[in-house]
């Protein structure tokens, strides 16, 4: 009885755990599959990926997605998609995303158009 | 609501006490799964619903306070078991997950229907609570039913375990609907349609869902509701729960949290 675990948590004490007892580790892969969760704040907006849940099927995945990812804040809709349905690039190929320095013309931030927008707005203002 | 007379206040208090006590006790019981749930996601979901229940009970205790009872903390934390009006179903220890799920299904289906009936109550404060928690309770019953369908149609073991809990606690579930001494006053004043109507609606909702999950409802000849909880007659499990729940509060009841 000296080995009985006395805890501040009464649930643990109730469990009468014997600390000397060997605890069998879980079998590997003793897990449900994962579902990717997509969260939509308001109708019409994009669903945004927020994380995963473990679940045996889509119905249960939706139940869990609601509590894990929609408990706080505003939610209008959730999607769950089996992670196995996702096709992804290889990290090995990450270099395909590298962009070279001289291609900055593809970056809209480098367009110098504010003066032309300003001039357009002034013309519109004069017309009205 | 502008109560017509004292008898309406008495009847409303009786209704509020049993609803609030049910929620507080099942909320506390279900919170005992926190950290011990079958998987992380379920642990979080079950704990979150337990918290919801305690929040709902606080709101109902606040209504009682408006009707002249002590403040919610005093009411929740200073009464003994025989002063509680919860049904016996909610007092039982959490047992294994099959029992906790079956109780969750029985109780939350009843709560879903009770709150739906109260949306049109002539007692405005109560009708507002029923509307406010509609979504929360809908999720709770959805969670319960999804699990029951999963396990009912799962395999022989999962179906068998649920069936055993259903058989063992069916009469306790019927005890939720123990009629109170003021049923007719509640009905006549339009406060609540009464426990008999609630039980009828519950049976109509629950039986098809259980059958869909390949579970059998006991033959009506075996129905024998477990009453007593509403009048302060409880199992031996309630007082230890209260002792544990109030342990911190009792150290210093005047402490401001």
User: Complex ipTM, two decimals?
Assistant: 0.82
| Cα–Cα distance for residue pair B43/B35, rounded to 1 Å | 6
- Residue A90 covered by a domain: yes
Inter-chain residue contact B39 with A54, CB threshold 8 Å: yes
Which homologous superfamily does the CATH classification assign to the domain defined by B6-249? Answer: Ferritin, core subunit, four-helix bundle (1.20.1260.10)
Question: Does A13 reside within a domain?
Answer: no
pLDDT tens per residue across span B206-215: 999 999 999 9
Question: Would residue A18 count as lying in a domain?
Answer: no
Asked, for residue A10, whether it belongs to a domain, the answer is no
b/e string for B61-92 if b means 16 or more Cβ within 10 A? bbbbeeeebeebeebbbebebeebbbbbbbbb
More confident residue, A5 or B154: B154
A43 domain-assigned? yes
Q: What is the pLDDT of residue A5?
A: 55
- Is residue A24 one of the residues assigned to a domain? no
Give bridge partners of residue A65 from the DSSP assignment: none
Residue of B nearest to A11 (CA): B32
Chain A interface, Cβ < 8 Å to B = 10-11, 32, 53-57, 59-60, 63-64, 66-68, 71
Q: Mean pLDDT over residues B109-138, rounded?
A: 97
pLDDT at A1 over 60: no
Distances (CA, A) of B233 to B81, B85, B91, B236: 8, 8, 11, 10
* Domain edges within chain B: 6-249
B3 pLDDT tier (thresholds 50, 70, 90) = low
| Residue B229 confidence (pLDDT) above 90 | yes
CA gap B41, B98 in Å, rounded: 17
Its domain, for residue A98, covers: 30-127
Q: Is residue A8 one of the residues assigned to a domain?
A: no
Tokens of A44: 């019409």
Nearest Cα to Cα of residue B38 among A55, A8, A51: A55
Residue A66: give its domain's CATH number. Answer: 3.10.20.520
Is residue A92 domain-resident?
yes
Q: Give chain A's domain count.
A: 1
Contact indicator for B190, B117 with CB cutoff of 8 Å: no
Q: pLDDT for A94-107, tens place per residue?
A: 988 887 777 777 77
For residue A40, pLDDT over 60 is answered with yes
Q: What's the gap in Å between the CA of A63 and the closest CA on chain B?
A: 6
């Amino acid at each position: 009885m000296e080995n009985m675990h006395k805890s501040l948590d009464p649930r643990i004490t109730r469990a009468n755990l014997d600390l000397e007892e060997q605890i069998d580790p879980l079998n590997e892969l003793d897990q449900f599959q994962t579902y990717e969760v997509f969260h939509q704040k308001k109708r019409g907006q994009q669903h945004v990926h927020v994380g995963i849940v473990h679940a045996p099927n889509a119905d249960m995945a939706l139940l869990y997605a609601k509590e894990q990812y929609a408990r706080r804040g505003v939610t209008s809709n959730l999607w769950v998609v089996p992670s196995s349905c996702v096709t992804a690039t290889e990290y090995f190929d990450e270099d395909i995303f590298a962009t070279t320095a001289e291609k900055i013309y593809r970056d809209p931030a480098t367009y110098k158009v504010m003066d032309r927008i300003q001039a357009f707005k002034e013309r519109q203002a004069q017309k009205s | 609501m502008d109560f017509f007379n004292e008898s309406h206040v008495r009847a409303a208090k009786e209704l509020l006490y049993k609803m609030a006590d049910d929620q507080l006790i099942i909320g506390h019981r279900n919170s005992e799964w926190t950290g011990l749930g079958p998987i992380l996601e379920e642990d979080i979901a079950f704990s979150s619903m337990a918290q919801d229940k305690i929040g709902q009970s606080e709101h109902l205790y606040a209504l009682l306070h408006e009707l002249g009872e002590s403040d919610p903390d005093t009411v929740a934390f200073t009464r003994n078991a025989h002063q509680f009006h919860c049904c016996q179903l909610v007092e039982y220890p959490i047992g294994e997950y099959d029992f906790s799920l079956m109780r969750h299904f029985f109780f939350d289906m009843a709560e879903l229907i009770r709150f739906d009936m109260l949306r049109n109550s002539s007692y405005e404060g109560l009708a507002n609570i029923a509307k406010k928690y509609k979504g929360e309770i809908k999720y709770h019953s959805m969670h319960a039913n999804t699990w029951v369908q999963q396990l009912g149609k799962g395999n022989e073991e999962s179906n068998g375990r649920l069936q055993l809990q259903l058989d063992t606690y069916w009469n306790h579930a019927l005890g939720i609907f123990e009629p109170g001494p003021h049923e007719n006053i509640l009905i006549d004043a339009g406060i609540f349609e009464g426990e008999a109507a609630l039980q009828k609606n519950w049976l109509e909702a629950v039986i098809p869902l259980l059958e869909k999950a390949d579970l059998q409802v006991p033959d009506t000849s075996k129905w024998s509701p477990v009453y007593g909880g509403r009048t302060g007659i409880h199992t031996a499990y309630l007082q230890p729960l209260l002792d544990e729940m109030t342990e911190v509060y009792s150290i210093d009841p005047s402490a401001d949290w």
